[in-house]
């Protein structure tokens, strides 16, 4: 057989890998030792525990993952494990396609044709075959953005982890999150006596007021849908993609809010609860269709992109990510939300080791994310989904470590839990302990032959234990080159190990620079739908700034101190303006924290005076450290009707350029919606928006028939280790 026949038979699955390697290597003797040829995994063949190729000239960990774990390929005999939170019953490994090299093109050139492999040289049998995953960063420091997709927002809730900061701590410490049946949850216990599972606290809770829903309407919405709605909002705020920045995402027809929604969901327990209640006289039937999880969210937020629910069992959430990437690639939406949700609300699905959770990511084409000044958590380089008929990346090593102790058998949320775990480990350069391990492991970046660091790479992959539909996502760390004089504090390029021990939270951080027209400090704007929400959000932001400033494991920021100028810009540009608003000017983070706390102490949520300066509403002077408050719920917005006047934009621009912050503040407090991103365009327009803690929800238990139960907890918390 010649080289072409060998390759043809191998790709068709009629020739075993080892025999193909031997045949290629023995076609013609060459001087010196010939390298062992590396072939892609054969179709319909599960990968074995082997180490494949790494990018030429690299050393150290490079990539990756498998079913049951995301693991690293290495050039040495040991493979360090990267747990990816898949179910313990998952087995085998999905054959996946190897992404090819990316070549720049202009729109006029159209699609790039498939590369034609060079003739196979007997001296290098693997020359025409995939040589591992391409690097998104070239050795010259430039970033390849073509056909790459950025994770610009991320959020989630998992067992014993109300946010991703707690989830990362559970992963890093190898914590067992199992417990008995949740206490206080309405309805029958989902577990039998003696069983343990991994549950969310407050699964029946929801903040209806935040989304403008009545309690009665909220009770008829599946708790999975409510939970996903809240999580998506947190992810959008993490991305700075609400308000006018969300409006700016135009779809293919020019419609605003061109955001796609793709969600993995497979359970429908709430409808079973309603059916049983119906048999006993209840007459409430909830919306538990999977389509509603994506459709209602799209409707409530006024989105114009595609909305699709996915049910492929354990792989549902990763398939949703794959569909979102496809929609972005085809131009069906400007950005996309993808994720999954799973709740165990009926005893018919109770089982040992059952898990719950919810997670979501906001995705954009990498080129647009960089242009928009988004914070990039990680880069999605490739995704795929199918029935096991594709070949997978060769440069991977399979192991059996899992994070099942962190999320359990989590059904449709498994994939997003795995992807989130991979993003966190990429971000912090730390490998969480897998099964059988006790401690986290440092994860240095690989280096090329010249000693230059390359980005870390990981794979989140799920093989369905109850079906053949599988999915994967290849992720890469994003390490942009710093611009000279960039003090944005985005935290790129630093790892947890680089943190200076003993550094105080906000001491000396972020003095107001006045670079955006505020000569005496930074203009801080904060809003919420009700006074209670506003006070809770102000408290959350103040506590976050005063504690460790996001440097000790917080998943939404880097390890460096965030600067005041970046906090101010993120709040102005990246947050939607709601009915209850406060405005203040702060010269440093200490003053900002003090002002926010004084505002909360004033009792505005219970009808207090409303601010550190004792002022309420529009018309008071803005003093440094003073807080101005306005409640627009009953008085209406934009009383002067300036929003309908075409010349208003020019007027606002003139005020901003002249440094008339007082006038702009009065207009904003009166209800005029100001597009701060447009006003602040200029030299700093491309500065990265730093992620901040999301708005606070005021959740309460809402259940069918008014059986709202008590505040949930778990029977027994899992032990560390």
Three-class DSSP labels, 186-217: CCCCCCCCCCCEECCCCCCEECCHHHCCCHHH
Beta-bridge mates of residue 81: 71
Picking from 384, 261, 250, 264, the residue whose alpha carbon sits closest to that of residue 317 is: 264
CA dihedral 173, 178, 184, 190 (to 10 degrees): 150
Domain harbouring 167, CATH code: 3.40.47.10
Angstrom distance (rounded) from CA 154 to CA 363: 9
Average pLDDT, the chain: 73
Q: Model pTM?
A: 0.75
Domain region containing 642: 522-604+621-701
Angstrom distance (rounded) from CA 576 to CA 583: 14
Is-contact 463 89, C-beta < 8 A?
Answer: no
Tens-place pLDDT, residues 124-144: 333 333 333 333 444 344 556
Assess whether pLDDT exceeds 90 at residue 400: no
Same domain, 365 and 279: yes
Same domain, 466 and 534: no
Assess whether pLDDT exceeds 70 at residue 385: yes
Is-contact 529 575, C-beta < 8 A?
Answer: no
Same domain, 299 and 213: yes
Q: Give the model's pLDDT for residue 270.
A: 85
Identify the sign of the CA torsion 85, 87, 91, 96.
Answer: negative
Residue 163, in any domain of the structure: yes
Q: What is the DSSP letter of 27?
A: S
628: left (phi over 0), alpha (psi -120 to 50) or beta: beta
3-class secondary-structure state, position 653: helix
Residue 612, in any domain of the structure: no
Strands (E), 301-449: 307-310, 335-342, 357-365, 378-386, 430-431, 441-442
Picking from 474, 542, 463, the residue whose alpha carbon sits closest to that of residue 64 is: 474
Tens-place pLDDT, residues 163-186: 999 999 999 988 888 788 787 787
Per DSSP bridges, beta strands 149-157 and 81-82 are unpaired
Residue 707, in any domain of the structure: no
Per-range mean pLDDT, top range of 219-228, 466-475, 605-614: 219-228
Q: How many CA atoms lie within 13 A of 458 on its CB side?
A: 32
Residue 191, in any domain of the structure: no
Angstrom distance (rounded) from CA 590 to CA 77: 51
Angstrom distance (rounded) from CA 710 to CA 201: 11
The residue with greater pLDDT, 173 or 42, is: 173
Same domain, 667 and 575: yes
Which residue has tokens 């962190």? Answer: 406
Domain harbouring 629, CATH code: 3.30.70.3290
465 alpha-carbon distance from chain centroid:
25
Q: Give the model's pLDDT for residue 245.
A: 95
Angstrom distance (rounded) from CA 235 to CA 305: 17
Same domain, 369 and 285: yes
Q: Give the model's pLDDT for residue 631.
A: 92
Q: Give the model's pLDDT for residue 641.
A: 77
Q: Kindly list the distances between the CA atom of residue 600 and the CA atoms of 87, 215, 237, 533, 584, in Å, as whole numbers in the listed order.
A: 43, 26, 22, 11, 14
603 alpha-carbon distance from chain centroid:
34
* Arithmetic mean of pLDDT, 1-5: 70
CA dihedral 676, 681, 687, 692 (to 10 degrees): 0
Q: What is the DSSP letter of 115?
A: P
Residue 505, in any domain of the structure: no
Same domain, 427 and 526: no
Any alpha helices (H) in 158-203, and if so which ranges?
Answer: 164-173
Q: Give the model's pLDDT for residue 329.
A: 96
Strands (E), 37-80: 70-71
Same domain, 526 and 473: no
- Residue 462, token pair as written in the block: 């799920």
Beta-bridge mates of residue 585: 523, 624
* Arithmetic mean of pLDDT, 546-561: 53
Same domain, 436 and 530: no
Residue 122, in any domain of the structure: no
108 CB neighbour count, 10 Å cutoff: 5
Which range has the worst mean pLDDT, 276-285, 386-395, 507-516, 685-694? 507-516
Angstrom distance (rounded) from CA 6 to CA 239: 49
The residue with greater pLDDT, 529 or 558, is: 529
168 alpha-carbon distance from chain centroid:
13
Assess whether pLDDT exceeds 50 at residue 648: yes
Beta-bridge mates of residue 631: 580
Sheet holding 335-342, edge to edge: 307-310, 259-264, 335-342, 357-365, 149-157, 378-386, 470-476, 457-463
State the burial class of residue 234 (Cβ atoms within 10 Å of its Cβ: 0-12, 13-18, 19+): buried
State the pLDDT confidence band at 273, using cuts at 50, 70 and 90: confident
Q: Kindly list the distances between the CA atom of residue 527 and the CA atoms of 84, 361, 524, 615, in Å, as whole numbers in the listed order.
A: 37, 24, 10, 16
Tens-place pLDDT, residues 466-502: 555 788 899 999 987 655 444 443 333 333 333 222 3
464 alpha-carbon distance from chain centroid:
22
- Cα three-residue angle 471-472-475, rounded to 5 degrees: 160
Assess whether pLDDT exceeds 80 at residue 390: no
Same domain, 217 and 366: yes
Q: What is the DSSP letter of 409?
A: B
State the burial class of residue 331 (Cβ atoms within 10 Å of its Cβ: 0-12, 13-18, 19+): exposed
Residue 238, in any domain of the structure: yes
Is-contact 443 345, C-beta < 8 A?
Answer: no
Is-contact 391 441, C-beta < 8 A?
Answer: no
Length in residues, the chain = 721
Q: Give the model's pLDDT for residue 10.
A: 63
* Arithmetic mean of pLDDT, 597-603: 90
- The residues, any chain, with a CB within 8 Å of residue 683's CB and separated by 6 or more, are none
The residue with greater pLDDT, 47 or 505, is: 505
330 CB neighbour count, 10 Å cutoff: 10
3-class secondary-structure state, position 675: coil
Same domain, 468 and 526: no
Q: Give the model's pLDDT for residue 117.
A: 38
Residue 706, in any domain of the structure: no
Is-contact 481 87, C-beta < 8 A?
Answer: no
- The residues, any chain, with a CB within 8 Å of residue 68's CB and separated by 6 or more, are 86, 88, 90, 91, 399, 400, 401, 402
Same domain, 463 and 533: no
Q: What's the total number of domains in the chain?
A: 3
3-class secondary-structure state, position 422: helix
Same domain, 333 and 399: yes
The residue with greater pLDDT, 587 or 489, is: 587
């Amino acid at each position: 057989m010649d080289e072409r026949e060998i390759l043809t038979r191998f790709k068709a699955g009629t020739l075993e890998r080892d025999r193909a390697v031997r045949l290629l290597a023995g076609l013609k003797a060459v001087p010196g030792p010939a390298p062992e040829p590396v072939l892609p995994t054969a179709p319909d063949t599960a990968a074995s525990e082997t180490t494949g190729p790494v990018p030429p000239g690299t050393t150290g960990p490079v990539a990756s993952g498998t079913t049951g774990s995301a693991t690293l390929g290495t050039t040495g005999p040991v493979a360090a494990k990267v747990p990816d939170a898949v179910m313990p019953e998952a087995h085998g490994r999905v054959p996946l396609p190897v992404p090819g090299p990316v070549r720049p093109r202009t729109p006029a050139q159209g699609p790039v044709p498939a590369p034609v492999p060079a003739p196979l040289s007997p001296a290098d049998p693997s020359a025409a075959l995939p040589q591992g995953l391409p690097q998104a960063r070239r050795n010259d420091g430039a970033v390849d953005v073509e056909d790459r997709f950025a994770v610009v927002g991320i959020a989630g809730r998992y067992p014993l982890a109300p946010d991703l900061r707690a989830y990362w701590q559970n992963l890093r410490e190898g914590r067992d999150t199992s417990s008995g049946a949740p206490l206080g949850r309405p309805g029958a216990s989902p577990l039998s006596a003696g069983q343990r599972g991994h549950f969310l606290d407050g699964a029946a809770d929801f903040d209806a007021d935040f989304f403008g829903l009545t309690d009665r309407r909220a009770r008829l919405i599946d708790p999975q849908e409510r939970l996903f709605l809240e999580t998506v909002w947190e992810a959008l705020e993490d991305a700075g993609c609400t308000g006018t920045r969300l409006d700016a995402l135009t779809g293919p027809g020019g419609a605003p809010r061109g955001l796609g929604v793709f969600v993995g969901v497979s359970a429908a327990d709430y409808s079973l609860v309603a059916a049983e209640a119906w048999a006993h006289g209840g007459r409430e039937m909830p919306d538990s269709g999977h389509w509603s999880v994506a459709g209602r969210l799209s409707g409530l937020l006024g989105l114009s992109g595609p909305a699709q629910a996915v049910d492929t069992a354990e792989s549902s959430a990763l398939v949703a990510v794959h569909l979102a990437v496809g929609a972005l690639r085809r131009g069906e939406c400007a950005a996309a939300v993808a994720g999954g949700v799973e709740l165990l609300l009926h005893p018919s699905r109770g089982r040992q080791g059952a898990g719950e959770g919810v997670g979501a990511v906001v995705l954009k084409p990498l080129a647009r994310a960089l242009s928009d000044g988004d914070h990039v958590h990680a880069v999605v380089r490739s995704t795929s989904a199918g029935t096991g008929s594709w070949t997978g990346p060769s440069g991977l090593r399979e192991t059996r470590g899992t994070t099942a102790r962190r999320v359990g058998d989590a059904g449709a949320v498994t994939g997003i839990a795995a992807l989130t775990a991979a993003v966190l480990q990429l971000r912090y350069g730390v490998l969480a302990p897998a099964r059988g391990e006790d401690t986290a492991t440092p994860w240095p970046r690989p280096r090329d032959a010249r000693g230059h660091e390359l980005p870390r790479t990981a794979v989140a992959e799920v093989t369905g234990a109850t079906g053949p539909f599988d999915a994967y996502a290849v992720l890469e760390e994003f390490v942009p080159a710093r611009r000279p004089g960039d003090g944005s504090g985005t935290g790129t390029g630093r790892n947890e190990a680089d943190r200076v021990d003993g550094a105080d939270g906000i001491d000396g951080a972020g003095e107001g620079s006045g670079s955006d027209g505020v000569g005496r400090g930074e203009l801080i704007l904060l809003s919420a739908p009700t006074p209670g929400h506003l006070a809770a959000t102000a408290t959350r932001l103040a506590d976050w700034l005063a504690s460790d400033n996001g440097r000790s494991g917080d998943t939404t920021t880097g390890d460096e101190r965030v600067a005041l100028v970046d906090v101010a810009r993120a709040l102005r540009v990246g947050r939607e303006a709601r009915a209850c608003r406060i405005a203040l000017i702060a010269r440093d983070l200490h003053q900002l924290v003090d002002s926010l706390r004084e505002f909360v102490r004033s009792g505005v949520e219970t009808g207090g005076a409303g601010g550190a300066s004792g002022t309420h509403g529009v018309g008071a002077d803005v003093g440094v450290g003073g807080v101005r408050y306005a409640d627009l719920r009953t008085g209406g917005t934009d009383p002067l009707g300036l929003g309908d006047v075409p010349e208003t934009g020019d007027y606002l621009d003139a005020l901003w350029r002249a440094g008339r912050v007082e006038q702009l503040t009065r207009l904003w407090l009166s209800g005029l919606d100001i597009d701060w991103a447009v006003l602040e365009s200029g030299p700093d327009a491309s500065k990265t928006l730093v992620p901040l803690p999301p708005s606070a929800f005021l959740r309460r238990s809402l259940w069918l028939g008014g059986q709202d139960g008590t505040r949930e907890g778990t029977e027994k918390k899992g032990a560390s280790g």
